[in-house]
């Protein structure tokens, strides 16, 4: 970042090469205020378009994004270091979510009649979901298109304007998204980007004109953002870290489970909030599974199959977790302390890791995985649920019924069965966590409702003689009739 106050810019850097990718404004609180104020005006116009006209513009944005897919993926690659293929995949997933949000907003949020019950037989009741106004989105660097678009697309489809603060590591990607959106919606500044460091995000969260914040990042940072939101009682969606577990049942397809574990743990250099960090394997198949896993993990190479650790400080955390596990008696069957070679980390597979070690309890966010033998799937479930995080999880089993029972019992927001991270690619499924993994949901109908406010309307269609209950002219006879009706409807006990 420039030390000259008048310049107020900072650079994004390719973490693999150290080459400067771009230079961006360091937006201060005044710049954030101006963005939010213009967004408030745009929000009124955008909401007034209604579902169909917004849908047409969002589908046009989808087309523009698709036409520029290579450009977007290339910039993701440059700012994060991840392979072009992975950058392309995340952009494609973002496109599918944008399409779903645009096409389903009216069905999920539009006005509908709801039942009034016998007591309200003379009423008509309507429920609809109205835009909030301006939504602030604070995005991460690990999936700089897919993750924030899970909030941006759904907030826009719900009728809100959006001010997006991308990570300081990937500001160019955020700026490019806003540039492409403006090609589809040039009339107003419905989607804007402010770039900068933590102070920029704090200013966005603290602005009284923001009606909701959607945040993705660490649990510690989420708490600071919540503190900033508290001043104005601004509600928040928080998608924080994870320590996801994969359970391998005795009748699982071991080759498929091992392949999924390696991808879930190593893809994107392990920098995935719903990545696999822990594996619990039923004793009967443990040795066979471990053989499959280590064979695959040894074939994966940092810097070739996946990119560098995007945030340099994360390598210290990865090294600390590996060192702590080994010091406590764990065995490195693939890699080890020497695998940490900044900016890359080669695959690390650890066995016999104590459950109280940092490698099991804390988010590592690197291409490492712990594998533990358990007597039963019930023990696996108990250990999987024993951490403070609860974002995603995975179950591999040949028994569909038992797999569903395990999936339901995992204390997570999402669980994949006989696949890994597959829920993220289904636009109709909500995405979010419990515990220290956060709260609120993006994606799906729940994600659309997250960025809207329910509006309930009741209308009296006709008066009921002798049932004027909400008036000072009410008589004892009116109440007596009410009691008789309620007793008839609700007074009989069920055997």
Write out the DSSP string of 449-472: HHTEEEEEEEEE-S--TT---SST
**How far apart (Å, rounded) are the C-alpha atoms in residues 348 and 357?**
16
Least confident window among 131-135, 138-142, 356-360, 488-492 = 488-492
Pairing, β 434-435 against β 389-390: antiparallel
For residue 110, give the nearest of 66, 155, 154, 158 by alpha carbon. Answer: 158
Say what angle helices 219-230 and 198-206 make with each other, to 10 degrees: 40
Token digits for 283? 């004793």
Q: What's the whole-number mean pLDDT along residues 382-403?
A: 98
Q: What's the whole-number mean pLDDT along residues 143-165?
A: 98
% of the chain at pLDDT higher than 90? 96
Pairing, β 438-439 against β 236-239: antiparallel
Q: How many residues does the chain have?
A: 495
Residue 115 has pLDDT above 60, yes or no: yes
Query: Residue 49 — very low, low, confident or very high, per pLDDT cuts 50/70/90?
Result: very high
What confidence score (pLDDT) does residue 56 get?
A: 98
Pairing, β 161-165 against β 191-193: parallel
**How far apart (Å, rounded) are the C-alpha atoms in residues 40 and 193?**
14
What confidence score (pLDDT) does residue 462 get?
A: 95
Strand partners, 244: 276
Catalytic site residue from 273, 277, 363, 436: 273
Instruction: Spell out the residues 6+ positions from residue 300 whose beta carbon is closer than 8 angstroms to its own.
Output: 262, 266, 306, 347, 367
Catalytic site residue from 90, 239, 363, 436: 239
What confidence score (pLDDT) does residue 7 get?
A: 59
Residue 2 has pLDDT above 80, yes or no: no
- Residue 273 known to be catalytic: yes
The more confident residue out of 164 and 3 is 164
Residue 60 has pLDDT above 70, yes or no: yes
What confidence score (pLDDT) does residue 5 get?
A: 47
- Tell the residue number behind the tokens 């993705």, with chain if given: 216
3-state class percentages of the chain: helix first, strand second, coil last, to nearest 5: 45, 20, 35
Residue 4 has pLDDT above 60, yes or no: no
What confidence score (pLDDT) does residue 1 get?
A: 46
Helix or strand run (H / E) with residue 180: helix 171-184
Helix, strand or coil, per DSSP, at residue 218: coil
**How far apart (Å, rounded) are the C-alpha atoms in residues 160 and 202?**
20
Backbone angles phi, psi at 422, to 5 degrees: -65, -25
Q: What's the whole-number mean pLDDT along residues 466-483?
A: 90
The more confident residue out of 465 and 19 is 19
Mean predicted lDDT score pLDDT of the chain: 96
Helix or strand run (H / E) with residue 398: none
Rounded to 5°, the CA angle 485-486-490 comes to: 125
- Residue 239 known to be catalytic: yes
What confidence score (pLDDT) does residue 6 get?
A: 62
The more confident residue out of 218 and 467 is 218
Query: Residue 27 — very low, low, confident or very high, per pLDDT cuts 50/70/90?
Result: very high
Model pTM greater than 0.85?
Answer: yes
What confidence score (pLDDT) does residue 466 get?
A: 80
**How far apart (Å, rounded) are the C-alpha atoms in residues 132 and 262?**
41
């Amino acid at each position: 970042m420039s030390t000259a106050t008048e310049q107020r810019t900072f650079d994004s850097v390719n973490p693999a090469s150290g080459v400067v990718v771009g230079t961006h404004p360091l937006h201060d609180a005044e710049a954030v205020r101006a963005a939010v104020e213009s967004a408030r005006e745009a929000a009124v116009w955008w909401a007034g378009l209604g579902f169909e006209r917004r849908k047409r513009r969002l589908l046009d944005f989808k087309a523009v994004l698709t036409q520029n897919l290579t450009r977007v993926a290339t910039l993701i690659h440059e700012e994060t270091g991840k392979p072009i293929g992975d950058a392309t995949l995340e952009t494609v997933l973002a496109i599918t979510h944008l399409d779903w949000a645009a096409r389903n907003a009216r069905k999920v949020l539009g006005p509908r009649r709801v039942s009034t019950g016998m007591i309200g037989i003379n009423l008509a009741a309507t429920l609809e979901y109205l835009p909030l106004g301006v939504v602030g989105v604070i995005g991460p660097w690990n999936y700089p298109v897919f993750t924030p678009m899970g909030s941006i697309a759904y907030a826009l489809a719900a009728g809100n304007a959006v001010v997006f603060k991308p990570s300081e590591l990937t500001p160019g990607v955020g700026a490019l998204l806003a540039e492409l959106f403006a090609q589809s919606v040039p009339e107003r500044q419905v989607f804007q980007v402010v770039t900068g460091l933590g102070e920029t995000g704090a200013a966005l969260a603290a602005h009284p004109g923001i009606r909701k914040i959607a945040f993705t990042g660490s649990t510690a940072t989420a708490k600071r953002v919540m503190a900033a939101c508290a001043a104005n009682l601004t509600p928040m969606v928080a998608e924080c870290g994870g320590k996801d577990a994969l359970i391998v049942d005795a009748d699982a397809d071991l080759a498929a489970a091992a392949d999924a574990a390696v991808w879930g743990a190593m893809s994107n250099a392990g920098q995935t909030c719903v990545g696999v960090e822990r594996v619990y394997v039923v004793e009967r198949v443990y040795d066979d599974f471990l053989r499959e896993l280590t064979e695959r993990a040894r074939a994966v190479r940092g810097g070739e199959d996946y990119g560098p650790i995007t945030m340099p400080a994360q390598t210290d955390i990865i090294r600390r977790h590996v060192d702590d596990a080994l010091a406590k008696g764990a065995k490195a069957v693939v890699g080890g302390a020497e695998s940490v070679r900044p900016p890359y980390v080669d695959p690390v597979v650890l066995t016999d890791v104590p459950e109280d070690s940092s490698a099991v309890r804390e988010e590592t966010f690197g291409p490492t995985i712990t594998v533990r033998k358990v007597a039963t799937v019930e023990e696996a479930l108990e250990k999987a649920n024993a951490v403070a995080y609860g974002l995603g999880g995975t179950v591999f089993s040949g028994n569909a019924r038992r797999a569903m029972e395990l999936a339901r019992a995992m204390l997570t927001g999402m669980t994949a069965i006989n696949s890994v991270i597959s829920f993220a690619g289904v636009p109709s499924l909500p995405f979010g966590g419990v515990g220290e993994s956060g709260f609120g949901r993006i994606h799906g109908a729940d994600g659309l409702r997250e960025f809207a406010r329910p509006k309930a309307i009741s209308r009296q269609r006709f008066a009921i003689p002798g049932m004027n209950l909400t008036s000072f002219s009410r008589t004892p006879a009116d109440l007596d009739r009410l009691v008789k009706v309620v007793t008839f409807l609700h007074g009989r006990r069920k055997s």
